[in-house]
């Protein structure tokens, strides 16, 4: 079993802690669905990203509740939240903060740093692709290193720190696509789709009356940090590890494991960070499902959210109308079959 960290706890203690955390997560999901009705897959993926200590990119049309979800998560997880509306005229200092020159009563002058909205625990970067690349890059250090540098001075961000960014997948006029380096810093891409009819009916009834249910706090920031530590102690079977390797390597064009479809359609594939993301997110999915260890089915389920923003189609493949998600699903199915046969 992979994961030497599990040796620091006895098997009985580890099982008890995982089961207790699973019960707490179930309560958190119940609280979230009071305000964000339905869309269980979306909730699970965002919670998985937070349990892994990562960030999530939410793609969906306006009016599907993305902002509402983030606001609800801030309440339920007990995190200090902040929201930045990304616009073309937004500057890095509007996110990170800036130094101002102050004059004291004795006439002396000194610079004082005023923190920007990034100094929070849960940052909603709304319509992130509407800001210029210069402004988008202001989040790179914060997302990866959990600190920012202003005038040569490093400032640590408060832990835990998560970025949940939103994008409209259709309207791309006047936007700046996120560079690959920044996309790779998002643990998962979450596609927020239209709700089904029954869910939409529940939304109408629950949100247009005189009273509306409120979510309640379940976690604190310290408890979330402990949950992130416990997640890394969950054992991962060798079959799951090998399936992750099979999958990631088969999605890289011209690798020995790559299929003809990947070689013909994929311009560039996922790197080792994608494999790391899968190792973490399959644990989170198992935990949210009340299980003690991940299975090959978890790898298949997390393949598309983890890999789709870490790959790109060639120009010819886009012209043909190839579907990157379908290519990933086929690679995940092949990897699952390989492990079953082994």
Domain harbouring 330, CATH code: 1.10.8.80
Q: Please report the pLDDT score of residue 58 as a whole number.
A: 94
Domain tally, the chain:
2
Q: Please report the pLDDT score of residue 326 as a whole number.
A: 94
Total-model pTM? 0.89
> Are 246 and 209 contained in the same domain?
no
Q: Please report the pLDDT score of residue 6 as a whole number.
A: 42
Length of the chain: 342
> Are 35 and 8 contained in the same domain?
yes
> Are 95 and 213 contained in the same domain?
yes
Its domain, for residue 30, covers 1-234
Residue with tokens 């720190």: 161
Domain edge (last residue) among 234, 257, 280: 234
> Are 229 and 119 contained in the same domain?
yes
Rounded mean pLDDT for each run of 10 residues along the chain, 342 residues in total: 54 90 93 88 94 94 86 93 92 89 80 89 92 87 88 88 88 78 92 90 85 87 95 94 95 90 92 95 95 93 96 93 94 85 71
Q: Please report the pLDDT score of residue 305 as a whole number.
A: 96
Domain harbouring 134, CATH code: 3.40.50.300
> Are 271 and 154 contained in the same domain?
no
Q: Please report the pLDDT score of residue 4 as a whole number.
A: 47
Domain edge (last residue) among 234, 251, 266: 234
> Are 267 and 220 contained in the same domain?
no
Residues 6+ positions from 211 with CB-CB distance below 8 Å: none
Domain edge (last residue) among 204, 234, 264: 234
> Are 208 and 271 contained in the same domain?
no
Instruction: Note whether 140 and 182 are within 8 A (CB).
Output: yes
Q: Please report the pLDDT score of residue 17 as a whole number.
A: 92
> Are 52 and 115 contained in the same domain?
yes
> Are 214 and 332 contained in the same domain?
no
- Decide: residue 107, CB within 10 A, 0-12 exposed, 13-18 middle, 19+ buried: exposed
Instruction: Note whether 303 and 333 are within 8 A (CB).
Output: no
> Are 262 and 329 contained in the same domain?
yes
> Are 288 and 150 contained in the same domain?
no
> Are 290 and 322 contained in the same domain?
yes
**Which token pair is 131?**
């800001």
Q: Please report the pLDDT score of residue 262 as a whole number.
A: 92
């Amino acid at each position: 079993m992979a994961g030497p960290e599990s040796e620091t706890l006895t098997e009985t203690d580890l099982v008890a802690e995982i089961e207790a955390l699973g019960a707490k997560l179930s309560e958190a999901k119940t609280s979230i669905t009071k305000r964000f009705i339905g869309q269980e897959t979306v909730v699970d993926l965002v919670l998985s990203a937070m349990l892994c200590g990562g960030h999530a990119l939410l793609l969906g049309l306006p009016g599907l509740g993305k902002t509402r979800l983030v606001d609800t998560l801030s309440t339920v997880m007990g995190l200090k939240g902040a929201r930045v509306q990304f616009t073309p005229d937004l500057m890095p200092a509007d996110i990170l903060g800036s130094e101002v020159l102050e004059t004291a009563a004795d006439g002396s002058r000194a610079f004082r740093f005023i923190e920007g909205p990034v100094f929070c625990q849960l940052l909603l970067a709304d319509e992130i692709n509407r800001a210029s690349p210069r402004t988008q890059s202001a989040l790179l250090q914060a997302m990866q290193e959990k600190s920012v540098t202003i005038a040569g001075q490093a400032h640590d961000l408060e832990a835990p720190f998560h970025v949940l960014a939103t994008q409209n997948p259709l309207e791309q006029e006047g936007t700046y696509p996120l560079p690959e380096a920044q996309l790779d810093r998002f643990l998962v891409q979450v596609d927020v789709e239209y709700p089904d009819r029954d869910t939409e009916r529940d939304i109408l009834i629950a949100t247009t009356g005189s009273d509306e249910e409120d979510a309640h706090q379940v976690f604190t920031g310290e408890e979330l940090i402990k949950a992130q530590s416990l997640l890394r102690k969950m054992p991962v079977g060798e079959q799951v590890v090998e399936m992750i390797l099979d999958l990631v390597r088969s999605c890289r064009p011209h690798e020995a494991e790559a299929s003809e479809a990947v070689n013909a359609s994929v311009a560039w594939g996922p790197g080792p960070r994608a494999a790391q993301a899968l190792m973490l997110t399959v644990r989170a999915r198992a935990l949210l499902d009340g299980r003690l260890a991940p299975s090959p089915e978890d790898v298949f389920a997390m393949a598309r959210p983890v890999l789709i923003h870490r790959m790109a189609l060639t120009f010819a493949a886009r012209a043909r109308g190839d579907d990157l998600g379908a290519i990933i699903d086929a690679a995940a199915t092949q990897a699952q079959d390989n492990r079953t046969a082994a």
